């Protein structure tokens, strides 16, 4: 009887030791996540001033120089105006990603559904990035394989996803090369492929590239060359829209992101906004 009791006590102690070990291991994981989070926040704060202050400084300096030019210097004025537009565009893009990340962290996301003309919407986005692409002599080739013209989704979130992906392709393409966009529609919905020839994503970074709390090389996880928010925002928004995203990166094909989204259904929980002029591109506009 004594041996039985001793064995029972020993088994109980071993069980407690295993439970304690499990708890300790879990605490270590939590602490590691907290350290990574704090590291990310520190990196974010140390870089955010440059991401915002530098464009402001450029805009102020260039605009001051324009004010001192004479009317005869019209070509120089045009060049400087393009630089101001580029800096202002980058600043706007940075701030939009920051605000989007803040909303995601606070759990304030909800869907506002609209009906888009998919081709007009794509061309609106690419036209908006034309000057950015031209600075690096990059062109964009778009191929449509669709028999469905309209697409119900959250326009702001969809725009943020595509803009980040195309900006990524522009930033990391080799100069004087082309970005390829392929849009297909099938029974599963829309498939978007965005390909560029440039910096590849290493196999080591594949599993953590969408993690907002892991800082990779500045040329990999940061679509904005700084705080690494773009890809994590894409992932969160794609999941919110019920889609999926993955990528392939190799020397032969370059880097290609595959985005799958289906047209959503209107219901009482979704706020429906309709403005035909808001999402239709200018018929006379040209793609970059």
| 37-46 per-position pLDDT tens digit | 666 666 666 5
Q: Look at residue 220 and tell me whether its pLDDT is greater than 90.
A: no
Residue 118 CA, distance from chain mean position: 19
Q: Work out the angle between the directed axes of helices 118-128 and 155-172 (0-180°, nearest 10).
A: 50
The pLDDT of residue 42: 64
d(C-alpha 229, C-alpha 231), whole Å: 6
pLDDT at position 207 is 64
In the chain, domain spans: 112-279
Per-residue pLDDT, 278:
35
More confident residue, 157 or 130: 157
Q: Residue 107 — very low, low, confident or very high, per pLDDT cuts 50/70/90?
A: confident
Whole-angstrom distance, CA of residue 89 vs CA of residue 87: 5
Tell me what pLDDT residue 41 has: 65
- pLDDT band for position 225 (cuts 50, 70, 90): very low
* pLDDT of 267 above 70: no
For 69-72, the CB contacts below 8 A with 24+ separation are none
The three-class DSSP label of residue 189 is strand
Q: What phi and psi values does residue 260 have, to the nearest 5 degrees? A: -115, 125
Q: In degrees, to the nearest 5, what angle opens at C-alpha 239 toward C-alphas 238 and 243? A: 65
Measured in degrees and rounded to the nearest 5, phi and psi for residue 117 equal: -85, 110
CB atoms within 10 A of CB 43: 14
- Mean pLDDT across the chain: 78
Mean pLDDT across 179-197: 92
State the Cα–Cα distance between residues 166 and 223, nearest whole angstrom: 9
pLDDT reported for residue 37? 64
Q: What average pLDDT does this structure show over 232-260? A: 91
Burial class of 117 by CB neighbour count within 10 A (0 to 12, 13 to 18, 19+): middle
* Of 33 and 249, more confident: 249
- pLDDT the model gives residue 212: 56
Is residue 197 over pLDDT 70? Answer: yes
**Banded pLDDT at 269 (limits 50, 70, 90):** very low
Q: Which residues of 253-278 are buried (b: 16+ CB within 10 A; e: fewer)?
A: ebbbbebbbebbeeeeebeeeeeeee
Highest mean pLDDT among 52-56, 109-113, 229-233 belongs to 109-113
DSSP-based three-state secondary structure for 165: helix
Sheet architecture: strand order including 178-186: 139-145, 178-186, 189-196, 254-261, 244-250
The answer to whether the beta carbons of residues 288 and 129 sit under 8 Å apart is yes
Q: Does domain 112-279 have CATH number 3.40.50.1220?
A: no
Given a contact cutoff of 8 angstroms between Cβ atoms, the answer to whether 98 and 106 are in contact is: no
Task: Confirm if 197 and 254 have CB atoms less than 8 A apart.
Answer: yes
Quote the distance between the C-alpha of residue 56 and its chain's center. 23
The crossing angle, in degrees rounded to 10, of helices 230-240 and 155-172 is: 150
* pLDDT at residue 10, as a whole number: 64
């Amino acid at each position: 009887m004594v041996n039985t009791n001793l064995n029972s006590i020993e088994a109980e102690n071993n069980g407690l030791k295993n439970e304690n070990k499990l708890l300790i291991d879990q605490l270590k994981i939590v602490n590691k996540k907290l350290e990574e989070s704090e590291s990310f926040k520190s990196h974010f704060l140390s870089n955010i001033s440059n991401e915002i202050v530098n464009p402001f400084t450029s805009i102020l300096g260039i605009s001051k120089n324009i004010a001192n030019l004479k009317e005869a210097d019209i070509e120089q004025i045009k060049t400087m105006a393009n630089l101001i537009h580029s800096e202002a565009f980058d600043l706007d893009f940075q701030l939009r990603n920051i605000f989007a990340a803040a909303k995601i962290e606070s759990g304030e996301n909800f869907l506002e559904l609209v009906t888009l003309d998919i081709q007009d919407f794509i061309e609106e986005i690419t036209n908006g990035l034309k000057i950015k692409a031209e600075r690096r002599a990059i062109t964009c080739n778009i191929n449509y394989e669709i028999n469905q013209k309209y697409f119900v989704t959250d326009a702001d979130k969809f725009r943020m996803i595509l803009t980040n992906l195309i900006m990524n392709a522009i930033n990391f393409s080799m100069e004087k090369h082309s970005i390829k966009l392929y849009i297909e529609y099938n029974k599963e919905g829309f498939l978007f492929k965005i390909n560029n020839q440039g910096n590849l994503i290493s196999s080591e970074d594949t599993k953590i590239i969408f993690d907002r709390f892991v800082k990779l090389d500045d040329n990999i996880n940061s679509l904005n060359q700084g705080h690494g928010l773009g890809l994590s925002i894409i992932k969160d928004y794609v999941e919110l829209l019920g889609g999926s995203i993955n990528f392939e990166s190799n020397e032969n094909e370059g880097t290609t992101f595959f985005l799958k989204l289906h047209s959503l259904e209107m219901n009482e929980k979704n706020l429906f906004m309709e403005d035909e002029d808001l999402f239709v591109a200018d018929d006379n506009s040209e793609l970059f």
